[in-house]
Amino acid sequence: MGCMRYLSEAHLRGFERYKYSSIDTSFLSVYVMHPFWNYCVKFVPKWLAPNVLTFVGFLMTVVNFILIAYYDWGFDAANSETGNSVPAWVWTVAAINILIYYNLDGMDGKQARRTGTSGPLGELFDHGLDSYSAALIPIYLFSLFGTHDLPPIRMFFVIWNVFLNFYLTHVEKYNTGVMFLPWGYDFTMWGVSGMLFVATVFGPEMYRFSIYGFTVANMFEFVLIGSGMVSSHPIIARNIYLSYKNKTGKMRPMWEMLRPFFAFVWLFVITVVWSFFSRNDVINQEPRILWILYGTIFSNIACRLIVAQMSDTRCDAFNVLMWPLAATVGVCCFPYYEKVFDTDLTSDTERWILYGLTIFSTLAHWHYGYGVVSEMCDHFHIRCFKITKQTVAAEEELQDVVEDAKPTENVEEV
């Protein structure tokens, strides 16, 4: 990676001491999915690296995004009175790919323990890609409703609700040291896949009906936002509170405990300003590109938080990718643009600025991910996508270090 390095010595030393601890109380996960994954992983060759499973699963979400975007770039395919113009087979493929992603995401950790290659790289790789998928997956469903039933500004808040649910789980671990696996994840994956299968069997038009003005899109928003408020947010707050009360967590000062929210809130504020005050209403012109831009920067913020909580270092309060975003929003929302520059910002110009910023942010985020993975591989003398004798030896050495620093909390390793 040349002279640019993303991990400090403090990060690397923290990774050496790291041990994954989690608690899973979801009956669907514990009693159905884990036994199923334990059975399925027996058919995976032992020479196959766990990160390959993780990456293949992530690619399924990318394929879905590209496939649906090809047929419905502007989320208007469902608006037609004659029915959704996306072919039925696309929904089937998307549903199958979601299940592939979900099951490979559940099997990669089991493959790692089965091959003796468990370690911090695998968890970071897994959760880092999940943060990207958090932006991609809800976008599939928008094509079921169309912009008439679910306008882009409401899509914006749906996506941010997904971001919040994902991010809070890692804020919780940043402060408690334990990953409390959310109940909603397993049900959400099955729910998304089920909705896509139903669109194949009965046609996506079934998602366009309404009762007394209450649409299926309204129900989708209500269930998604309400489930987080009931099954996730209060439980996370309680777990953090108990970790302080029982002195089992990181015991950070108040502002340090809240520090992960700074970058998250800054990104939310900046994106709200652009979404509401764009001079050319860019949110209705290019919603899909806008979601990818927001999702990419969110993923970078989430990945840096994951690095911080795994290495037990201080997380960032501001993300470097938000500087060009803030500058762009300032230009695109400047109220006196025409008076100052004697010409207004054209719609095409703002769209090209959006395209350019999205490409830049995506390449910067990919570079960050590649750099972090490369630096961890170099430090632990392992390969990301290949199991070698050096890999197993390095992991055994890491486990020896971990055992010496084993925490006393009563947790279950999953």
Query: Is 410 part of any domain?
Result: no
Q: Which two tokens stand for residue 57?
A: 């699963």
Among 310, 331, 325, CA closest to 365: 325
Among 399, 373, 400, CA closest to 386: 373
347-399 pLDDT per residue, tens = 999 999 999 999 999 999 999 999 999 999 999 999 999 987 655 554 554 45
- Side-chain half-sphere exposure of 286, counting CA atoms within 13 A: 19
Query: Is 218 part of any domain?
Result: yes
Query: Is 178 part of any domain?
Result: yes
158-202 pLDDT per residue, tens = 999 999 999 999 999 999 999 888 778 888 899 999 999 999 988
Among 292, 224, 325, 221, CA closest to 73: 292
Output the pLDDT for position 412: 32
Total domains, the chain: 1
Query: Is 97 part of any domain?
Result: yes
Query: Is 413 part of any domain?
Result: no
How far is Cα 305 from Cα 303, in angstroms, rounded to an integer?
5
End-to-end, the C-alpha distance of the chain in Å comes to 33
How far is Cα 216 from Cα 202, in angstroms, rounded to an integer?
15
Q: Which residues of 65-101 are buried (b: 16+ CB within 10 A; e: fewer)?
A: bebbbeebebbebbbeeeebebeeebbebbbebbbbb
Query: Is 2 part of any domain?
Result: no
- Residue 358 CB coordination number (10 Å): 20
Domain carrying residue 148 = 9-404
Query: Is 321 part of any domain?
Result: yes
How far is Cα 370 from Cα 364, in angstroms, rounded to an integer?
10
- Residue 169, judged by CB atoms within 10 A of its CB (0-12, 13-18, 19+), counts as buried
Output the pLDDT for position 158: 94
Query: Is 347 part of any domain?
Result: yes
- pLDDT digit string (tens) for the chain, length 414 residues: 556 899 999 999 999 999 888 888 888 999 999 999 999 999 999 999 999 999 999 999 999 999 999 999 999 988 877 677 889 999 999 999 999 999 999 999 999 999 999 999 999 999 999 999 998 999 999 999 999 999 999 999 999 999 999 999 999 999 999 988 877 888 889 999 999 999 998 888 888 888 888 899 999 999 888 888 887 889 999 999 999 999 999 999 999 999 999 999 999 999 999 999 999 999 999 999 999 999 999 999 999 999 999 999 999 999 999 999 999 999 999 887 777 777 888 999 999 999 999 999 999 999 999 999 999 999 999 999 998 765 555 455 445 444 443 433 333 333
